[in-house]
Amino acid sequence: MVKALHGAGIEVILDVVYNHTAERGPTGPCLSFRGIDNSTYYLLQGDLHTYRDDTGTGNVLRTGHPTVRNLVIDSLRYWVREMHVDGFRFDLASILSRDLDGFIRLGDASIISEISSDPDFADVRLIAEPWDLATYQLGRSFPGFDWRQWNGRFRDDVRRFVKSDPGQVPALMRRLYGSDDLFPDTGDDVYRPYQGVSFVDSHDGFCMYDLTAYNAKRNHANGAQDRDGNDSNNSWNCGWEGDDGAPPQVLGLRKRQVKNFCTLLLLSNATPMFVMGDELLQTQGGNNNPYNQDNETTWLDWDRLAANADIHRFFKSMIAFRRAHPTLARGRFWRDDLRWHGVAGPPDLRFESRSVAYYLDGKPQQDVDIYVMISAYWEPLRFTVQEQASDRRAWKRAIDTSLESPLDIAEPGSELVLGTPDYVVTPRSVVVLVR
């Protein structure tokens, strides 16, 4: 399988769980490590009987112990040498920074240091989910200096902005720029924007469409009386809870909001990630923790591809747009090539503001210039493009998420020439111009 995917130019990154095992808590089954050497393989409380539970699954693997470290690293080495995978995403990776007694040791996270310095992993992508139930290490706090990290702040800030929460414009600006507050590129901290993995949704939580269709989770089928899963989803149902009986205008707004998510994600200067199924509006029926659902809740519904061909086209075209414009995804931050604007002047950073614009100079990357207008406001806004060239080079509209397919994103070479510096941005939409 790996060879076939490599033949198609697709990398394989394995999601690995080296933080807990299926043996669960004190009442769980004895499958392997518990029967071999309980106190070596697991972090225990002072009574040497009660399991630490910083993972929420009943136990914590004791990766600070040399024997456990060797087991993990041998496992990684097998997948690289024998199976030729291209990288790993480490689930709840903050567990790896705990010592023999379960304390965080950022300056001496032995297993992370060993993985980072091992020549077998020199060309392997190492991606951390930099938190566990008790620790949040996103950015500089995570001891894997050159690792990539899931950027949960991007997820939360973009969700809040798109649902029109107030006070989110400064946060959105930071996330689009590459989250230099988390991954600074000062002389002491030479991070790169691509080290942040930006995402709106993942296998945990609501899928992208459900973020636009449900205000509350619906997890009763999981068997925990709806007490499992996250209650803070930062979702908005666009005026109608669920799909049953949803009117056409609500369904249309949901499509626009999904396109907004996609556009902001792929315009950001970071490594973007979305979930297979987002591009065809896959739904989990409001279940945000379907880990034990092997049924229609989690199976990919391919009928939605034909039903939502316009969204599928938009995702494909948006990916192509990002790849065609190197000024967006750079190995460094945008710095002086970026200028922020507002509707008709400087950016509005007030708490009640819900709009912003920016200009990216493409010349240093041998690319076109890009101008982006973003509005999460519920009324139309007339933007005035602030970057007008003396040679009267014309701005052209490449993307407007409020328009129906295929006008929402133009094929290369068919962008609409603007005859005026003003553009009316439809409520809750993103417009991208090129020059």
The tens digit of pLDDT for each residue in 181-198 reads: 999 998 888 899 999 999
Please tell me the predicted confidence (pLDDT) of residue 107. Answer: 66
Which candidate, 87, 105, 83, places its Cα nearest to that of 96? Answer: 105
Determine the Cα–Cα distance for residues 34 and 68; give it in Å rounded to an integer. 13
Superfamily the domain 335-434 falls into: Golgi alpha-mannosidase II (2.60.40.1180)
For residues 131 and 136, give the distance between their C-alpha atoms in angstroms, rounded to a whole number.
Answer: 4
Residues 6+ apart with CB under 8 A from 127: 13, 87, 88, 89, 90, 147, 148, 149, 150, 197
Determine the pLDDT at residue 105.
76
With 90 as the cut, is the pLDDT of residue 32 above it?
Answer: no
For residues 105 and 133, the model is more confident at 133
| Whole-number pLDDT of residue 390 | 60
Q: How confident is the model at residue 49 (pLDDT cuts 50, 70, 90)?
A: confident
Would you tell me how many other CB atoms lie within 10 Å of the CB of residue 304? 18
Residue of 377, 380, 369, 363 whose CA lies nearest to 415: 369
* pLDDT tens readout for residues 361-409: 999 999 999 999 999 999 999 999 999 866 567 899 999 999 999 999 9
Return residue ranges of the chain for CATH 3.20.20.80.
2-319
Tokens linked to 124: 């392997």
Task: Report the relative pairing of strands 87-90 and 13-16 from DSSP bridges.
Answer: parallel
Q: What's the distance, CA 241 to chain centroid?
A: 24
Phi then psi for residue 90, to 5 deg, are: -95, 115
**CA separation for the pair 113, 198 (Å, rounded):** 24
Residue 106 pLDDT > 80: no
Q: Measured in whole angstroms, how far is the alpha carbon of residue 169 from the centre of its chain?
A: 18
The answer to whether residue 435 scores a pLDDT higher than 80 is yes
- What does the pLDDT read at residue 434? 97
Burial class of residue 30, CB neighbours in 10 A (0-12, 13-18, 19+): exposed
Sequence ranges of the chain with CATH classification 2.60.40.1180: 335-434
User: Residues 314, 320, 324, 327: is their CA dihedral positive or negative?
Assistant: positive
Please state which CATH number belongs to domain 2-319: 3.20.20.80
- Give me the pLDDT at residue 47, please: 83
Who has greater pLDDT, 104 or 127?
127
Report residue 108's pLDDT band, with 50, 70 and 90 as the boundaries: low
Q: What is the pTM of this model?
A: 0.96
Mean pLDDT, rounded, for 139-162: 96
State mean pLDDT over 330-339.
96
Burial (CB < 10 A; 0-12, 13-18, 19+), residue 95, is buried
For the question of residue 91 being annotated catalytic, the response is yes
Confidence class of residue 301 from pLDDT cuts 50, 70 and 90?
very high
Measured CA to CA in angstroms, residue 92 lies from 130, 133, 135, 233, 400 at distances of: 6, 8, 9, 19, 38
Residue 1 CA, distance from chain mean position: 26
pLDDT (tens digit, 9 = 90+) per residue, 229-270?
A: 999 999 999 999 999 999 999 999 999 999 999 999 999 999
Check residue 147 and give its pLDDT: 96
Q: Which of 86, 91, 185, 241 is catalytic?
A: 91
Residue 419 is predicted with a pLDDT of 86
149, 211, 337 from 360: Cα distances, Å: 25, 30, 6
The mean of the pLDDT values for the chain is 95
pLDDT at 329 over 90: yes
pLDDT at residue number 380 = 98
pLDDT at 392: 60
What is residue 388's predicted lDDT score, i.e. its pLDDT? 82
Please check the confidence at residue 330 and state whether its pLDDT lies above 70. yes
pLDDT of residue 391: 59
Place of tokens 């499509």: 255
CA distance 13 to 31: 27
**Catalytic one among 23, 54, 129, 228?**
129
CA angle 231, 23, 289 (to 5 degrees): 20
66-81 and 33-41 helices, crossing angle to 10°: 120
- Across the range 142-157, mean pLDDT stands at 96
Model confidence at 101, pLDDT cuts 50, 70, 90, reads confident
- Can you state the angle between helices 248-267 and 309-324, rounded to 10 degrees? 20
Structural tokens at position 400: 């407007």
Three-state secondary structure string covering 230-256:
CCCCCCCCCCCCCCCCCCHHHHHHHHH
Residue 120 token pair: 């077998």
On the question of a cis peptide bond just before residue 406, with omega within 30 degrees of 0, the verdict is yes
Mean pLDDT of 80-89: 98
